[in-house]
Structures are given as structure tokens and as C-alpha cells.
């Protein structure tokens, strides 16, 4: 059996909360196997854009990214958020290296074609260079990946962080038993969005469809779960959605929602 690799995604609401983020990073640094962190930061990007009087527009969980907004997300994800996470992880004894998808050519995408909606500079992932990521891991570094990718034409493109985590997990599953963990500010996928304790222990596709129909699962949770099921369908061993404070328990299936086929 191949070695375990943790691919962990941390969402923007936790990144925006310094105490919660620090607790999460401590637990991440202490994982007992090689690990990759994919981070979001949508909330911080929205706040910085507002300060610059740039309005945020989201469609189906994706940010409409015109040139001014691309400049904001490049600064926020590739700079402010990524480098602060790296610095904090260094203090926790984790030799983190901050990367966008463009660095080392690790994640290439194509600019989303304009259909009914023009998303602007948003990338749909085409290829993840698992060998390059493996080489980084083998040198003892822990990749901290920002939600930016590059195109064959040399564009930098804004890319959903949940999708980055799923695609990275799939690529790495050729060489590792990948355990993909989505960490956010709730205890898991909830059967009642108004009850923070109504955590679904195990979610299968049929139940997911039912909860979507009733509306109990909505908004940002839909693309997250689509990414989670896509990962399981393409070779990832284990997928969990959990509270950022529960990472240590979630790696062994002891917390959050287990996504199963
Ligand atoms: N059934 C549900 N259980 C938990 N969260 C849900 C559910 N339905 C919708 N959500 C929403 O999904 C959000 C998580 O998705 P998203 O906003 O993309 O977060 P992030 O990328 O920061 O992890 C939660 O903040 C919550 O508001
Ligand atoms: C294209 C697109 O929508 N990109 C996302 C990338 C950040 C992200 O996914 O952040 P969270 O995980 O914190 O939501 C955005 O700009 O909001």
C-alpha cells in the first residue's frame, strides 16, 4: 500500500479569523504524514476590493474577475494570505513553501469560455503536475497553494480553491493514498442549515441529491460537495468535510462528514 498524503483545504471564513486560523495551522503542522495545504481567501479579497471601491459579484460561487479584480485577488491570495500562512507555519516547525498554480507550473488552466456569463479571468483546471509537486514534497517542503493558476498563453487566472484541492488530490492519488479534508467554519455538512449540531456523519450521492432538492444543502456547499464526489470518483481514498478545529480528529474519520460513494 502506498503512503498517505493529506491534502487539506482551508476556507476564507477561517483565514479571516486570526485565532481560529492559528489553531488550525498548529494542527496542520502536526499532521503525521506529508501534507499539502490549499487555501481560499474569498472573504479577504472581497474586503480588500471594497476598500479599493471595487464591487464583488459572485455567480454560482465563482467570482466575476475583471482586470481590477484580478489584480486584487493576485495581491490577496498570492501575497497577503499565502505569505502569512507560510510565515505562521514556519513558526510551527513546518517548512512551508508558498506557491500559486503558476509556480513550478504545478496547476495549469484554461480561461473559462464566455457562454451566457463572462467570468473574466477565471480558470478551469486542465492539468496538475503531480510529479513536480512530489519533487517539492520529497525535498522536505510543504506546499501551500494559493487559488491562482496559469494558462498556456501566460495569463494568471483566479480559480476556485475547493476545485484546486480536489484536482490536486486526484493528481497526487497516482503516487499516494490521498486523504482530502475540507476544513471550514461549521462542524460538517448539516442536515438542517439552521442547526449547527445537525452534522451528517456519512453522505452518499443519493442523500446529497435529496438534501439539494429540499434546499438543506445550498450555496457554497454544492460546489464543495461536487468537488468532493469528483475526487472520490477519480482515485482519492478518503474525503471529509469538517470544522477547522477538528482537523486532527477528522484525518482518522473521527469528526465531520465523511463523503462516500
Ligand atoms: N447543509 C449545509 N451544511 C453546511 N454548510 C452549508 C450547508 N448548505 C450551505 N452551506 C454553506 O456553505 C458554506 C461553505 O461553502 P463556502 O462558502 O464555499 O466556504 P469555504 O470555501 O469558505 O469553505 C458554509 O459557510 C454554509 O453557509
Ligand atoms: C473563481 C473564484 O471564485 N475563485 C475564488 C478563489 C478563492 C476561494 O475559493 O476562496 P474560499 O475558499 O475562501 O471561498 C474567489 O475569488 O472567491
Q: What secondary structure letter does DSSP report for 120?
A: B
Higher pLDDT, 216 or 60: 216
- 19-67 pLDDT, tens digit per residue, is 999 999 999 999 999 999 999 999 999 999 999 999 999 998 899 999 9
- Tell me which residue range forms the domain holding 154: 4-259
Please work out whether the CB of residue 160 comes within 6 Å of at least one atom of ligand 2. yes
Mutate to test the pocket of ligand 2, among 37, 63, 75 (most ligand atoms within 8 A of CB): 63
* pLDDT per position as a tens digit, 103-160: 999 999 999 999 999 999 999 999 999 999 999 999 999 999 999 999 999 999 999 9
Give the pLDDT mean for 207-227.
95
> Residue 12: CB within 6 Å of ligand 2?
yes
pLDDT tens string 224-260: 999 999 999 999 999 999 999 999 999 999 999 999 9
How many angstroms separate the CA atoms of 146 and 173, rounded? 20
Centre of ligand 2 from the C-alpha of residue 137, in Å: 25
Q: What is the ipTM of this complex?
A: 0.98
The 3-state DSSP class for residue 123 equals: strand
Q: Is the pLDDT reported for residue 179 higher than 80?
A: yes
Looking at the 3D structure of the chain, how many domains does it have?
1
Q: What SS3 state is found at 30? A: coil
User: Which pLDDT score, from 0 to 100, does residue 200 have?
Assistant: 98
Judge whether residue 92 has pLDDT over 70. yes
Q: Is 158 annotated as a binding-site member?
A: yes
Nearest to 241 by CA among 89, 222, 3: 222
Mark out the alpha helices in the chain (DSSP H runs): 12-15, 18-29, 42-51, 67-75, 82-91, 130-138, 161-172, 205-214, 221-233, 247-250
The pTM is what? 0.98
Domain CATH for 110: 3.40.1160.10
Q: What is the pLDDT of residue 1?
A: 65
Report the pLDDT averaged over residues 168-179: 98
Would the pLDDT of 5 be above 70? Answer: yes
Q: Please check if 40 is assigned to a binding site.
A: no
Q: To 10 degrees, what angle do helices 82-91 and 18-29 make?
A: 60
Cell of 122: 477565471
Q: Is the CB of 78 under 6 A from ligand 1?
A: no
What DSSP string describes 221-255?
Answer: HHHHHHHHHHHHHTT--EEEEEEGGGHHHHTTT-S
Confidence (pLDDT) at 146: 99
CA of 59 to the centre of ligand 1 (A): 15
Task: Pick the closest to residue 167 from 99, 246, 233, 75 (CA basis).
Answer: 233
62 lines ligand 2 (CB under 6 A): yes
Look-up of cell digits 460513494: 261
Instruction: Tell whether ligand 1 has an atom less than 6 A from the beta carbon of residue 40.
Output: yes
- Determine the pLDDT at residue 149: 99
Question: Measured between alpha carbons, how far is residue 64 from residues 17, 48, 60, 159 in Å?
Answer: 25, 15, 10, 11
CA 211 – ligand 1 centroid, Å: 14
Rounded Cα gap, residues 136 and 130, in angstroms:
10
Amino acid at each position: 500500500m502506498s503512503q498517505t498524503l493529506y491534502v487539506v483545504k482551508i476556507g476564507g471564513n477561517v483565514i479571516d479569523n486570526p485565532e481560529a486560523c492559528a489553531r488550525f495551522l498548529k494542527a496542520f503542522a502536526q499532521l503525521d504524514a506529508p501534507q499539502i495545504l490549499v487555501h481560499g481567501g474569498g472573504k479577504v479579497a472581497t474586503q480588500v476590493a471594497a476598500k479599493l471601491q471595487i464591487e464583488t459579484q459572485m455567480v454560482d460561487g465563482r467570482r466575476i474577475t475583471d482586470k481590477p479584480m484580478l489584480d486584487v485577488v493576485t495581491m490577496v491570495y498570492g501575497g497577503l494570505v499565502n505569505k502569512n500562512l507560510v510565515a505562521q507555519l514556519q513558526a510551527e516547525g513546518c517548512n512551508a513553501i508558498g506557491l500559486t498554480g503558476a509556480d513550478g507550473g504545478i496547476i495549469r488552466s484554461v480561461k473559462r469560455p464566455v457562454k451566457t456569463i463572462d467570468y473574466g479571468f477565471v480558470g478551469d483546471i486542465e492539468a496538475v503536475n503531480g510529479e513536480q509537486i512530489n519533487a517539492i514534497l520529497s525535498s522536505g517542503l510543504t506546499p501551500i497553494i494559493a487559488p491562482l493558476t496559469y494558462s498556456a498563453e501566460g495569463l494568471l487566472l483566479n480559480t476556485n480553491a475547493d476545485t484546486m484541492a480536489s484536482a490536486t488530490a486526484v493528481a497526487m492519488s497516482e503516487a499516494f493514498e490521498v486523504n482530502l479534508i475540507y476544513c471550514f467554519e461549521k462542524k460538517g455538512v448539516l442536515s438542517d442549515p439552521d442547526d449547527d449540531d445537525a452534522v451528517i456523519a456519512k453522505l452518499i450521492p443519493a442523500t446529497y441529491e435529496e438534501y439539494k432538492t429540499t434546499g438543506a444543502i445550498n450555496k457554497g456547499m454544492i460546489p464543495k460537495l461536487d468537488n468532493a464526489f469528483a475526487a472520490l470518483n477519480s482515485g482519492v481514498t478518503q474525503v471529509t468535510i469538517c470544522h477547522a478545529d477538528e482537523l486532527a480528529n477528522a484525518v482518522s474519520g473521527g469528526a465531520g462528514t465523511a463523503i462516500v460513494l
